Amino acid sequence: MKTKLTIVLILLSLCFVNCGYVSMALKKWADNMSQQSAPSQIREKNLSPEKCAIVYGRLVGDSLSTKPLVVAAFSMRYGTLEMVNSYQMNRPSYFTLYLPEGQYQLFVFADCNNDSLFTNNECVGQYEGTKMLTIEGPEKDVPIVKDVHISFSIANTYSLDLPFSRKVEPSEELVLSEFYPPGSIRSLDSDLFSHETGLLGMYNPPAFLERASLFFYALEEHDRRKIPVVFVHGITGTCRDWQYIVEGINREKFEPWFFYYPSGEDLDKLAEIFYELFLSGNIVNLRRGTLVICAHSMGGVIARAAINRYSKNQDFFLKQFITICSPYGGNEGAARGSEKAPVVVPSWRDVATGSEFITQLHKTSLPKHMKFHLLFGYRHPEKKSNGDNSDGTITIKSQLDPRAQALAHEVHGFNETHTSILQSKEVLDKINTILDEVK
């Protein structure tokens, strides 16, 4: 029976001709079979990433420590102790965890004896004494758990009565920053921004977040005299997609920031994370400053959903919002995939034409102090005429959804495909014209 199911799944998956999709579908099928007989929180995380919460926290204490540290989340939900997620760092800083519904004990371990192992007798801190961290179920709609701060002290190392041993993973030399968490400052040539990692974000968000868990990245140290521009990639994309545009803007006046996210995730969750990072004022405080957002494809609707949250505030620092080839009317291919695929990627449901996410997106008006620039592409890569009805990925009908057009300060079209539009000098010139207006 299992063999027949596997063959059927493979044949169905081949309809999508994508190795990443096939691997995801087969893994989820195998995990689902195992989960029925031997339930596990780790498998739960991999099976239903859309039901997981992002936990944001910070290690407090021993700020000068150079010992490798790891924050580990343990669960006993299914009767057996398991480490569901962990986050390693080389010095005290922010951490993120990715956890399904349940209660967790959070511990901090340090490689105190320099043997390249974290062990149960090297615990240096835990979350609020013996308090458990509770992750509510998806019906509570809590995609982010914030301010989970843990105090630790290398001088007060103690042992735990639990089986724990983990290798210290080799880590690259990170640029240290006065303003950003270690690892935030990267070159666009970094392997972190490879196409393979972008695909991983589409088909395996938990694995993506093991590699790139910060969501926020920059190219250089923060300069208070410069205006940040947050660049948001599209589905299967990475920060590297913006290289041509980033190299062409006035870097004396503007500094590029990037929202780097797993594009297979639930879009409401991603919008909430975007809002929390850039628009809430809780992490990046720009209430007396200026911010610009420039987003491509699905990144545009994620940013728009985050701006809907921001619109309820009385802050006025977001001055310009630029979107390029964004599916404001949804994506018909995603709708078909959501109906027919053997395994559905969460973001497909949200970006599908007629979805609840797309419907709700247009129910909030944009801030009056912010200008919205809607840029679209109309050249299909397999056709030569200019009268095509899509950019090769998103239909013009969706890009020019009347609900989005009605709120746009300007609408501007380009004879470019969905991908070539980010390499277009005409588009770069347009973006620079928009940025010239920013004070």
Q: pLDDT of 185-237, one tens digit each?
A: 999 999 999 999 999 999 889 889 988 988 999 999 999 999 999 999 999 99
Same-domain status, 232 and 118:
no
**How large is the average pLDDT for residues 318-334?**
94
**Alpha-carbon span 327 to 301, nearest angstrom:** 7
**Alpha-carbon span 87 to 94, nearest angstrom:** 10
**Within 13 A of 136's CA, how many CA atoms are on the CB side?**
8
Question: What single DSSP character describes residue 358?
Answer: H
Question: Residue 255 in contact with residue 289, Cβ under 8 Å?
Answer: no
If you search the block for the tokens 């300060």, which residue do you land on? Answer: 409
**Within 13 A of 101's CA, how many CA atoms are on the CB side?**
11
**Alpha-carbon span 63 to 1, nearest angstrom:** 56
Is the pLDDT at 28 greater than 90, yes or no? no
If you search the block for the tokens 């590297």, which residue do you land on? Answer: 240
Same-domain status, 223 and 349:
yes
Q: Across 94-203, where does the E strand assignment appear?
A: 94-99, 102-110, 117-119, 123-126, 133-135, 144-151, 165-167
Is the pLDDT at 357 greater than 80, yes or no? yes
Identify the pLDDT of residue 138.
61
**How large is the average pLDDT for residues 62-82?**
89
Nearest to 89 by CA among 220, 214, 219: 214
Same-domain status, 294 and 424:
yes
Same-domain status, 391 and 248:
yes
**How large is the average pLDDT for residues 357-380?**
95
Same-domain status, 253 and 307:
yes
Task: Establish if 171 belongs to a structural domain.
Answer: no
**Measured CA angle at 123 (ends 213, 151), to 5 deg:** 65
Task: Establish if 3 belongs to a structural domain.
Answer: no
Q: What is the CATH number of the domain that holds 75?
A: 2.60.40.1120
Task: Establish if 16 belongs to a structural domain.
Answer: yes
Judged on CB neighbours under 10 Å (0-12, 13-18, 19+), 116 is exposed
Q: How many CB atoms lie within 10 A of CB 314?
A: 5
Same-domain status, 238 and 201:
yes
Identify the pLDDT of residue 6.
44
Terminal Cα-to-Cα distance of the chain (whole angstroms): 66
Backbone φ, ψ for residue 438 (5° rounding) = -80, 130
Question: What single DSSP character describes residue 276?
Answer: I
The tokens of 67 are what? 């010992």
Q: Residue 78 — pLDDT band, cuts 50, 70, 90? A: very high
**How large is the average pLDDT for residues 104-108?**
95
Return the minimum-mean-pLDDT range out of 131-135, 294-298, 342-346, 393-397: 342-346
Same-domain status, 394 and 370:
yes
Is the pLDDT at 300 greater than 90, yes or no? yes
Same-domain status, 337 and 412:
yes
**How large is the average pLDDT for residues 264-281?**
92
Task: Establish if 251 belongs to a structural domain.
Answer: yes
Is the pLDDT at 45 greater than 90, yes or no? no
The tens digit of pLDDT for each residue in 403-431 reads: 999 999 999 999 999 999 999 999 999 99
If you search the block for the tokens 């079209």, which residue do you land on? Answer: 413
Identify the pLDDT of residue 332.
85
Q: What is the CATH number of the domain that holds 325?
A: 3.40.50.1820
Is the pLDDT at 178 greater than 60, yes or no? yes
Q: Which domain holds residue 142?
A: 50-161
Task: Establish if 31 belongs to a structural domain.
Answer: yes
The tokens of 204 are what? 């395996």
**Alpha-carbon span 53 to 205, nearest angstrom:** 12
**Alpha-carbon span 276 to 288, nearest angstrom:** 17
Nearest to 310 by CA among 365, 350, 256: 365
Which amino acid is present at 407? L
**Alpha-carbon span 367 to 308, nearest angstrom:** 8
Same-domain status, 265 and 369:
yes
Question: Residue 351 in contact with residue 330, Cβ under 8 Å?
Answer: yes
The chain-wide mean pLDDT, for the chain, equals 88
**Alpha-carbon span 378 to 75, nearest angstrom:** 51
Tally of structural domains, the chain: 3
Same-domain status, 412 and 301:
yes
Same-domain status, 302 and 429:
yes
Backbone φ, ψ for residue 357 (5° rounding) = -60, -50
Task: Establish if 166 belongs to a structural domain.
Answer: no
The tokens of 53 are what? 């919460």
| Domain termination site, one of 143, 161, 179 | 161
Task: Establish if 75 belongs to a structural domain.
Answer: yes
Return the minimum-mean-pLDDT range out of 29-38, 44-53, 84-93: 29-38
Identify the pLDDT of residue 181.
82
Task: Establish if 174 belongs to a structural domain.
Answer: no
Nearest to 395 by CA among 296, 321, 297: 297
Is the pLDDT at 340 greater than 60, yes or no? yes
> Which one is predicted more confidently, 209 or 432?
432
pTM: 0.88
Same-domain status, 207 and 157:
no
